[in-house]
Structure 1
Amino acid sequence: MSEVHTHPSSLDSDRPAEVTDPLLWNLALAVADTHEPDGDGGCRILLCADQPWPCAAWNSAQRALQAARATTPATIQRRPTSTPSIQASAAA
């Protein structure tokens, strides 16, 4: 288990303003911080033994950090406001 113990309020104060998913951001940040390089070119986490750094978990955490900062309309998933098939069957 990780030795990273961070109070939630300190996570909020360090979070960039453009973060749209705080839970994803906090989880991804914890994973990225845990999977640091060990100084010998690998990941310091035993689960990533024999993997060069950056390991798969660190790379996934970086993608999650980007996803949590989605600020452009192309990257933000929006739910449709109406369903055409429901409207069509109601009109019939």
Structure 2
Amino acid sequence: MSEASTDRVADRPAEVTDPLLWDLAAAVADAHQPDAERVCASPSCAGAAWPCAAWNAAQTALTTARTPRPGMPSRPAGTGAPATRLHATGQPAAADATERLAATAA
């Protein structure tokens, strides 16, 4: 595990309901910061104005990762992985947001 990812885990708010989504979104947001001219510094954005689409998607994912989901049992912080709730496709519910986030990070 890299030092940056260890820092993200330590900085994760207690109310996060989807730690994997939070960690991925935080990594994307960190990679898509503005430079001095307010242009996204990530090479994948190729000079796009900031905030870029990837940074915006990361912000949405950070919010989603903190949102309690209906039917998901609440758990105290640090008690293990959240229960997996399946989407209508049979995939974990967070898979849609994670796939969209991964697509914008590439």
Amino acid at match of 1:64: A
* Equivalenced residues, count: 72
Alignment partner of 1:56 out of 47, 53, 58:
53
Q: CA deviation at 1:7?
A: 4.4
Alignment partner of 1:41 out of 38, 42, 45:
38
CA distance in structure 2 between the aligned counterparts of 1:77 and 1:40, rounded to whole angstroms: 42
Aligned equivalent of 2:25: 28
Moved runs in structure 1, 4+ residues, more than 6 A?
none
**Residues 3-39 of structure 1, C-alpha deviations (whole Å, 9 max, x = no match):** x84243x332211010000000000000000100011
Q: Which runs of 5+ in 2 are unaligned?
A: 72-84, 86-106
**Larger Cα-atom Rg:** 1
* Pairing 1:66–2:68 present: no
* Pairing 1:14–2:11 present: yes
CA distance in structure 1 between the aligned counterparts of 2:32 and 2:66, rounded to whole angstroms: 21
Q: CA deviation at 1:49?
A: 1.7
Q: CA deviation at 1:50?
A: 3.3
Q: Which runs of 5+ in 1 are unaligned?
A: 80-92
**Residues 21 and 69 of structure 1 are in contact (CA less than 8 Å); yes or no, is this contact kept in structure 2?**
yes
Q: TM-score, normalised by structure 1?
A: 0.68
CA distance in structure 2 between the aligned counterparts of 1:50 and 1:7, rounded to whole angstroms: 26
CA distance in structure 1 between the aligned counterparts of 2:47 and 2:5, rounded to whole angstroms: 32
Q: CA deviation at 1:46?
A: 1.7
**Residues 40 and 52 of structure 2 are in contact (CA less than 8 Å); yes or no, is this contact kept in structure 1?**
yes
**Residues 42 and 49 of structure 1 are in contact (CA less than 8 Å); yes or no, is this contact kept in structure 2?**
no
